[in-house]
Amino acid sequence: MLRDLWKAGGIRKKLIIYYLIVTVLMGMTSFYSYYNAKVAIEKLKSIFVDYVYLNNLNSDVNMLETEVERYLATKSSDALLNYYSLYNKLENKASDILSQNYYDTDSLMLKDIANMINKLLEEADAAVNAKRGRITSEYIDHFTKSIKISDYIKFYMTNLLNNKLQEGSAKYASITKNMEYLSYLNIFLILISIGFSIFLAFLFTYKITKPIIDLSHLAVRVSKGDFEVRPIELKTNDEIKVLSEAFNKMVVNIKKYISEIKKQAEMERKIKEAELKALQSQINPHFLFNTLNAAAQLAMMEGAEKSAEFIENVANLFRYNLKKLDSTVTLKDEIENVKRYIYILKTRFGDKIDFKLDVEEEVLDLEMPCMILQPVVENAFIHGLEDVERDGLIVLKAYKEGEKVLVEIADNGVGMEQEKIKAILALDSPDVDKKHVTGIGMHNIIHRLLVFYDISSVEDVIEIKSEIGKGTKVTLKIPDKKGERNYGQVVNS
């Protein structure tokens, strides 16, 4: 991983080097301060250790003298036990001192103290034994000698402590002076580290951000449509150089692409003009209706009544489909248009398609948008029944329920998945019904109902239930009121 980081180029490598330099610099400064502080603490600690050791030794000698005197006066067993404990303790300390191989003045004085401690222990032990043997003259003599030896020990101890005090004062003065010097040196090093880190931060920041800022200014100009910007040139060898080269190529490509789009738009304009002229030259729809009516009359005169009826239904279906979608019709008009469409289907497919109608008389005068029911019926046929082998059935029901008129269009076709139902009801998804002859899909129907009746929720105007292999039922929920008249702006959505 470290090898990969070192091999990394560009901005990443610059940032790694910067952070490594700053980290190493601050680490060295911190380590130097820590080392100096530790050395000073160790020196001070050695002074205090000597003081504590000598004070403890002096205290043990005094306590030994006290316990011997107490035993000789009272023959207390507690005093005797304390005496033996101090005896062993001082004997071990004297042995340790004499085993050390130091021969400076203080060490020699300490060895003398150790020898005197051994002599003190001999006299004190002799006094205790004489007391236990009730030899009065002997224990007094030995006790007197132990007192003299103890005084010599205290004298030597006092001199040694004075020497240690003078030595410690000199060391403390030296340490204080060094610490003062080191504190100034540490402050200087810290200031140098901070200054150098700030310098590096500004240097790296400037080198990294300046080309990015230049590039962003050019990008703003390009976003405002100014493609006559000079190519940005950088001397760096990192990702920003790659980005600038890509930006320069992008500007050139955009200019080229815009030029091509202008040429293509001009060509499309000319093509559309040609198509418009071609459409204007096509047969007028009214001429087509008149021709179909003439064909129906001719078929009637020749006795072809079924042909005449078929042609007449086709002509009426075309005429109804050419109505403006923002026009208002009645439910009866919509049902009649569905009947014409079913007639044409039955003429084409015979008994394969059956149609049942169940409509309450009171709802026929209901006002509603044009071209709502026929696309739903067409959807039921195309997507539900066209590819099935069995006979197809389409049922249209209309009845009043509360303040709404429910129009149900059900088929016994193939059904559809829930995902497709959700796609139909989701107006922001692509319209799935692209096979209608009229070009009016389910999204268009739902949208026009929402606007016509000023309803915001899709569930309030339509409900779709389907089961695979059994069929689909679409229920339109039409309010029993006159619709708004200002919805024409959205009928082609």
In a domain? residue 106 = yes
For the ranges 159-168, 252-261, 278-287, 432-441, which has the lowest average pLDDT?
Answer: 278-287
pLDDT > 50? residue 485: no
Q: Give residue 157's pLDDT.
A: 83
The reply to whether 347 and 409 lie within a common domain is: yes
Alpha carbon separation from 348 to 195, 313, 343 (Å, rounded): 93, 13, 9
* First vs last C-alpha separation in the chain: 58
124, two tokens: 């004190």
What mean pLDDT comes out for the span 384-396? 85
For the ranges 63-77, 139-153, 224-238, 406-420, which has the lowest average pLDDT?
Answer: 224-238
The reply to whether 104 and 145 lie within a common domain is: yes
Model pLDDT for residues 59-72, shown as the tens digit of each residue? 888 888 888 888 88
Length of the chain: 493
In a domain? residue 311 = no
What mean pLDDT comes out for the span 301-325? 63
Q: Give residue 343's pLDDT.
A: 86
The reply to whether 359 and 417 lie within a common domain is: yes
pLDDT > 80? residue 445: yes
pLDDT > 80? residue 401: yes
Rounded Cα distance, 64 and 121, in Å: 9
Among 230, 162, 189, which residue's Cα sits nearest to residue 34? 189
What mean pLDDT comes out for the span 248-266? 77
In a domain? residue 463 = yes
Read off φ and ψ for residue 477, nearest 5 degrees: -105, 100
For the ranges 42-46, 220-224, 311-315, 486-490, which has the lowest average pLDDT?
Answer: 486-490
Q: Give residue 49's pLDDT.
A: 76
Q: Do the beta carbons of residue 204 and residue 14 sit within 8 Å?
A: yes
Between 400 and 154, the more confident residue is: 400
The reply to whether 125 and 177 lie within a common domain is: yes
- The tally of domains found in the chain comes to 3
Rounded Cα distance, 86 and 81, in Å: 9
Instruction: Give the CA angle between residues 430, 432, 433 to the nearest 5°.
Output: 130
In a domain? residue 306 = no
Q: Give residue 406's pLDDT.
A: 95
Between 309 and 397, the more confident residue is: 397
pLDDT > 50? residue 492: no
Q: Give residue 244's pLDDT.
A: 73
Average model confidence (pLDDT) for the chain?
A: 76
> Of all residues in the chain, what percent are helix, strand and coil, respectively (each to 5)?
70, 10, 20
The reply to whether 179 and 254 lie within a common domain is: no
Torsion angle of C-alpha atoms 180, 184, 186, 189, degrees rounded to 10: -160
The reply to whether 262 and 391 lie within a common domain is: no
217, two tokens: 């200014």
pLDDT > 50? residue 318: yes
Instruction: Give the CA angle between residues 141, 143, 148 to the nearest 5°.
Output: 95
The reply to whether 193 and 278 lie within a common domain is: no
Q: Give residue 357's pLDDT.
A: 93
The reply to whether 116 and 17 lie within a common domain is: yes
Q: Give residue 331's pLDDT.
A: 92
Rounded Cα distance, 452 and 475, in Å: 17
Model pLDDT for residues 105-122, shown as the tens digit of each residue? 878 888 888 888 888 888
pLDDT > 60? residue 488: no
Rounded Cα distance, 206 and 210, in Å: 6
459, two tokens: 């569930």
28, two tokens: 């060295």
pLDDT > 90? residue 196: no
The reply to whether 380 and 469 lie within a common domain is: yes
In a domain? residue 333 = no
Q: Would the CA dihedral through 335, 337, 343, 344 be positive or negative? A: negative
The reply to whether 176 and 80 lie within a common domain is: yes
Rounded Cα distance, 383 and 377, in Å: 10
469, two tokens: 């292999």
The reply to whether 144 and 247 lie within a common domain is: no
In a domain? residue 486 = no
Between 24 and 321, the more confident residue is: 24
| Domain encompassing residue 106 | 1-212
Q: Do the beta carbons of residue 407 and residue 375 sit within 8 Å?
A: no
Q: Give residue 389's pLDDT.
A: 77
The reply to whether 96 and 160 lie within a common domain is: yes
Alpha carbon separation from 270 to 190, 265, 279, 450 (Å, rounded): 77, 9, 14, 38
- The DSSP output letter for 437 is S
- The DSSP output letter for 480 is S
Q: Would the CA dihedral through 440, 441, 442, 448 be positive or negative? A: negative
Q: Give residue 203's pLDDT.
A: 75
CATH number at residue 450: 3.30.565.10
In a domain? residue 290 = no
322, two tokens: 């050419």
CATH number at residue 187: 1.20.120.1730
Among 162, 148, 170, 174, which residue's Cα sits nearest to residue 105? 162
> Which among 88-92, 305-309, 459-463 has the top mean pLDDT?
459-463
In a domain? residue 448 = yes
191-198 contacts: CB < 8 A, separation 24 or more?
193/25, 193/26, 193/29, 196/25, 197/22, 197/25, 197/26
Q: Give residue 44's pLDDT.
A: 66
pLDDT > 70? residue 53: yes
Q: Do the beta carbons of residue 396 and residue 359 sit within 8 Å?
A: yes
Alpha carbon separation from 141 to 61, 127, 423 (Å, rounded): 19, 8, 121
Alpha carbon separation from 359 to 100, 362, 365, 453, 460 (Å, rounded): 123, 9, 12, 22, 21
Model pLDDT for residues 138-167, shown as the tens digit of each residue? 888 888 888 888 888 888 888 887 877 777
For residue 473, name the pLDDT band (cuts at 50, 70, 90).
very high
Q: Residues with Cβ < 8 Å from 478, sequence gap 6 or more?
A: 331, 366, 368, 404, 405, 406, 407, 449, 453, 461
